[in-house]
Structure 1
Amino acid sequence: MPAAPRRRLPVVLALVLLLVLAGVGVGVTRPGPVAGWLGDDAGPAPTAGASAEPDPSDVLAGPDPNAPLPSPDGVRAALDPLVGVADLGDRVNVSVADVTSGQTLFAKGADDGTVPASVTKLATGVTVLAARGPGYRIPTRAVAGAKPGEVVIVGGGDTTLAVDKKGYYPGAARLDDLAAQVRTALGGVAPTSVTVDGSIYSGPRYGPGWDADIPTGGYGGAITALMTDGARRDPSVGSGGAERVSEPDLAAGRSFARLLGVPADTVERGTAPPTAAAGGSSPAPGTELGVVQSPPLIRLVDIMISESDNILAEALARQVALARNQPASFDGAAAAMDAEVAELGLPAEEINLSDGSGLSRRNRISPSVLTDLVRLAASPDHPELAGIFGGLPVGGWSGTLDDRYRGAPGTGAGAGAVRAKTGTLTGVHAIAGLVTTADGRLLTFAVLTDKVPGGTDTAQPALDRIAAALAGCGCS
């Protein structure tokens, strides 16, 4: 007997995403197959000096709205032999649903909270887009301090902030621009000291449930409201693991002091003074001296998902807390994200978060909540959420799926047909996103495993065979 639909969410996915991008005034170009999948086959002409993209191969074609819907029995026949393999352990929870109709096609432990690892970032992306909107930008401000010549730099949570044009994140706000504004605002008054105000954040700097090696392992770090280049010691280091500074706020403050010609030993933590009445030749305490803005949230979500950027994810989770007037801490952000999921009409009892990146082993999300989040983001009722799709890695093509769906037996059908977020911790392997079937039907799926006995070399191909089976089947 066919499984009953859990929820019905109509979808016009490509149109929705294009409307979102246009609405916030952001031009986002997706090379090759991704552009075609979003309904932007040709893309804009390359700008002067830019390298032309090679002609893409024919992958990720647009979904066919008239494609036949797989039957639950057919999907079960394809997946049952794959979800029970020893390489995935004895706790494999799965949800598969049709994006257009919302019909559940396969469910195994689908409503059970499971450790999601970095798949958590799908929830972070959806909730921050819902709470703040895709066009929101995170400010970094400079104000006059209480002492003559004191400049207070006030962090707003923009982890992509750069020191100068050599920053890690393309299009980031820059401290040298902020310093130029400050010099203009001060006129002939020479700055004498820099105070770093990160008081918008509260609580511990490292997440609950993080493994002991995360603070020093290159994929996590101290979470502060002011930092540059995601706390990277060297912004020229590529994506993935990178050495992080232990005190990102003070490091950013020292860079700012250097740009202002102020000795680094004057930099200290403090808070911005309240705005006072003007008087004398110096700006009154609390007077804004300059402000720079992050790229819009839709771009930050794109980076977070495509690079699985943990530090950026924690910053975006705190934006959910701030939008909901909650403390910008790990606990406040997690509670705000849970509440935002409930406000979107999804089952709050099936999500319980401790951080926004997925580094915490205390996180629990059910596979069905993840497939619901994807279908909700694809709904024309919530065009503001469609920004989560731009950064999803493509099987055999980009991001964390670049080297998957290639050589492992039984995974080839997923190349170019699977677009998903992955998650990995020791003993935990997960994947969730979208897959286009051989008949052109668009499905959403989530597979979460948190008792994997072996390592990545065996678990990931076993996961990939599940998504590849969906890509390769008509499953009638």
Structure 2
Amino acid sequence: MLATVLVLVLALVGVVVVRPGPVAEWLGDEPAGDRVATETPEPAPAAVLAAADANAPLPTAAGIRAEIDSLVGAAALGDRVNVSVTDVATGESLYGRGADDGTVPASVTKLVTGVTVLAARGPGYRIPTRAVAGPNPGEVVLVGGGDPTLAVDKNGFYPGAARLDDLAAQVKQALGGTSPTKLTIDSSLYTGPVHEPGWDDDIPTGGYGGSITALMTDGARSDVPRAKKDHDNGDHAAERVSQPDLAAGRAFARLLGIPTGAVKRGKAPTAGADATAGAPGSELGVVHSLPMVRLVDLMISDSDNIVAEALARQVALARNESASFAGAAKAMDAVAAELGLPADELSLADGSGLSRTNRISPSLLTDLITLAGNGTRPELAAIFGGLPVAAWSGTLADRYAGAAAKAGAGVVRAKTGTLSGVHAIAGVVTTVDGRLLGFAVLTDRTPDGQEGPRAALDRIAAALAGCGCR
């Protein structure tokens, strides 16, 4: 089962990727009409992931300890380094050091967000954005459903996203001969603060976070063309609008021919059970997000914090909790417990990992990886598709190039996490014998600087890749 679920997912993504990039492009979603017909075909890509073999020799705990004990004690990692290594096929623990201790996880939190939303919503779920009739003829209410990737038109940031221009066309058709006269936006699905209190002061303005509202376009980016260009150059930060719901509403008003200055926040009227078309609250149109499996890919591959917070709220909504930071945290904890993960080793304040009050144990992460990879819950294996590949893609594209970590290139696939003083990595690695291991290394008291701790983490994963550890 392991070979047919996890290895298939890893091999599929690893082999067909021609170059690092957004997951939508990896999976061939670029419209055929946008390609140049005379483009020179690229050579067949080489495999970047070694195939795992569930029948390969199992490393021993003593062998693992001999390989990584000294690396775990590297000065660059500080004085609190918590580690867990397990065998994915069997779930057997092979190494632990502070494995059950809650540690600040940074963006590694997104693995928990991904697994819990896949369990709660399912891989095929799509987030709706609706337009309904207002209380008077010609009045329209735009209702945010929590899709952070919603685009204004075909030039949106996220390939394949739902579009407001499509929704506007539906509204105009539904209104018939009545011209749109007024637009209200309803982003009341989310409650509570738009910024998590545990975020560093620069998060809302620094480009990696932003205001979390139920209605937004392009992840709240204010300059999509510039953001797409910077993204291509490896910079995922972008200027964000301070009121994403109003910005989205004004874009929709322009598409409807309504003055943008008249856009106000409000609540959509409730449609009666016997409401006729055009009656207050009746649906005028709806568009749907990419399926959840693709949203999880985007969140993990690009470490997209805005998408992460939106997906955390989807867990809350699926479990009838408030769609807030607190409600999402409570729901994710409950779903983790339902999945059999050690929820007492999980304490969350957000879904992105930007909060320093988050705590996750390394053993919960390796248990999660085992659960997602052992075939018992095949829908959870989707978290592996977006994981960066060492020396190839995402946050690991420029790592594992040096001699000390080269053994990990192409065979380490992991989510990274970084805040000042916090460095983490968790994922899977194939040993030289072909055994698939799950690993998590979290440290939240590192010295200043990033390169030293990152290199030290890479050496640990590379050591696992380069040995049979028997």
TM-score norm. by structure 1 comes to 0.91
Matched residue of 2:69: which SS? helix
* Preserved CA contact (<8 Å) 1:112 1:366: yes
Measured after TM superposition, the shift of residue 45 of structure 1 is: 13
Alignment of 1:338-417 (within 5 A): 338-407=333-402, 409-417=403-411
Distance 1:13 1:272 in 2: 49
For 1:329, the equivalent position in structure 2 comes to: 324
Distance 1:156 1:255 in 2: 17
For 2:243, the equivalent position in structure 1 comes to: 247
1:223 to 209, 212, 225: 212
Gaps (5+ residues) in structure 2?
Answer: 19-26
**Shift in CA distance, 367/16, structure 1 to aligned 2, threshold 3 Å:** closer
For 1:286, the equivalent position in structure 2 comes to: 281
What CA RMSD, in Å, does the superposition of the two structures yield over aligned residues? Answer: 2.1
Measured after TM superposition, the shift of residue 158 of structure 1 is: 0.2
Distance 1:131 1:468 in 2: 34
**Shift in CA distance, 121/330, structure 1 to aligned 2, threshold 3 Å:** same
1:201 to 187, 190, 208: 190
Does residue 469 in structure 1 map to residue 463 in structure 2?
yes
* Preserved CA contact (<8 Å) 1:17 1:383: no
For 1:316, the equivalent position in structure 2 comes to: 311
Matched residue of 1:283: which SS? coil
Measured after TM superposition, the shift of residue 56 of structure 1 is: 2.3
Alignment of 1:403-442 (within 5 A): 403-407=398-402, 409-442=403-436
Counterpart residue identity of residue 248, structure 1: P
Runs of 4+ in 1 over 6 A off after TM superposition: 43-46
Distance 1:417 1:17 in 2: 12
**Shift in CA distance, 163/62, structure 1 to aligned 2, threshold 3 Å:** same
Alignment of 1:17-166 (within 5 A): 30=13, 32=15, 49=35, 52-166=41-155
Distance 2:448 2:458 in 1: 16
* Preserved CA contact (<8 Å) 1:31 1:53: no
Measured after TM superposition, the shift of residue 146 of structure 1 is: 1.0
Counterpart residue identity of residue 353, structure 1: L
Q: Percent identity?
A: 68
Matched residue of 2:146: which SS? coil
Distance 1:257 1:203 in 2: 26
* Preserved CA contact (<8 Å) 1:33 1:59: no
Deviations 1:384-439 (A, max 9, x none): 111101000000000000000013x4111110010000000000000000000111
Does residue 459 in structure 1 map to residue 450 in structure 2?
no
Q: Which moved more, 1:218-227 or 1:62-71?
A: 62-71
Distance 2:460 2:61 in 1: 15
TM-score norm. by structure 2 comes to 0.92
* Preserved CA contact (<8 Å) 1:411 1:468: yes
**Shift in CA distance, 215/16, structure 1 to aligned 2, threshold 3 Å:** same
Matched residue of 1:342: which SS? helix
Measured after TM superposition, the shift of residue 66 of structure 1 is: 2.2
Deviations 1:191-233 (A, max 9, x none): 1111110111100000131000000000000000000000001
Counterpart residue identity of residue 375, structure 2: P
Q: Which moved more, 1:99-108 or 1:289-298?
A: 99-108
Deviations 1:39-75 (A, max 9, x none): xxxx999967376453223431211222111111010
Distance 1:296 1:133 in 2: 9
For 1:275, the equivalent position in structure 2 comes to: 271
Counterpart residue identity of residue 208, structure 1: P
Distance 1:156 1:444 in 2: 35
Distance 1:206 1:62 in 2: 42
Measured after TM superposition, the shift of residue 30 of structure 1 is: 3.2
Distance 1:232 1:411 in 2: 36
Matched residue of 1:214: which SS? coil
Matched residue of 1:317: which SS? helix
Deviations 1:231-268 (A, max 9, x none): 00112213310000000000000000000000001101
* Preserved CA contact (<8 Å) 1:422 1:431: yes
* Preserved CA contact (<8 Å) 1:130 1:385: yes
Measured after TM superposition, the shift of residue 79 of structure 1 is: 0.5
Distance 1:150 1:369 in 2: 50
Q: How many residues align?
A: 449
